[in-house]
Amino acid sequence: NFMNLTKAKFVVNSTYHIHPDDIEIFAEAVRPHIKKTQEIPGCVFYTFSFDLVDTNLCHLAEGWADREVLDKHLVSAIFQEAFTKVLNTVRILDYKGVIYTVSDEGIIKPVKL
C-alpha cells in the first residue's frame, strides 16, 4: 500500500530499541497486524524496518489520511492485540514516537550523481 495515491495528513515516526534476544519475538508479534493495518481505509502507508547500522533498532513509519482514522486505529482490536503481545513478551529498551501534521506533500525523484 506504499504507493497509495491518498495524501497523508498525519505521519507517525516511531523507533523501538529492542533487546537483542527479543528481535524475532517482536517481529512475530507485529507481523500479523501489518497487512491488516495497511488495508484500513485512510491508512496511506504503514511499514516496519530494521536499522542497517543498529540491528536492534526498529523503525515504524505510518501515514494517515486524517486524525480520526489514526485515533480509531490506536484503539482497534488489531492494534491492541499486537501492542499487548509486545508489552507482555518483548523487552523494549527505548521507544520514541513523534506525530507530524503534513501541510504539503511531493514526490522526491532520484537524481543521478
Is 2 domain-assigned? no
Structural domain count, the chain: 1
- pLDDT, position 108: 78
Instruction: Give the sheet arrangement for strand 57-64, strand by strand.
Output: 43-50, 57-64, 10-18, 92-101
- pLDDT, position 56: 98
Is 26 domain-assigned? yes
Is 57 domain-assigned? yes
Q: From first to last of its 113 residues, what are the pLDDT tens digits of the chain?
A: 445 567 999 999 999 999 999 999 999 999 999 999 999 999 999 999 999 999 999 999 999 999 999 999 999 999 999 999 999 999 999 999 999 999 887 777 888 76
Cβ atoms 73, 60 nearer than 8 A: no
- pLDDT, position 74: 95
- pLDDT, position 3: 52
Cβ atoms 30, 48 nearer than 8 A: yes
* Structural domain range at position 73: 10-101
**Which pTM value belongs to this model?**
0.85
Say how far apart CA 68 and CA 58 lie, in whole Å: 26
- The C-alpha cell that represents 34 in the structure block: 501489518
- pLDDT, position 111: 80
Q: Output the domain CATH number for residue 73.
A: 3.30.70.100
- pLDDT, position 1: 43
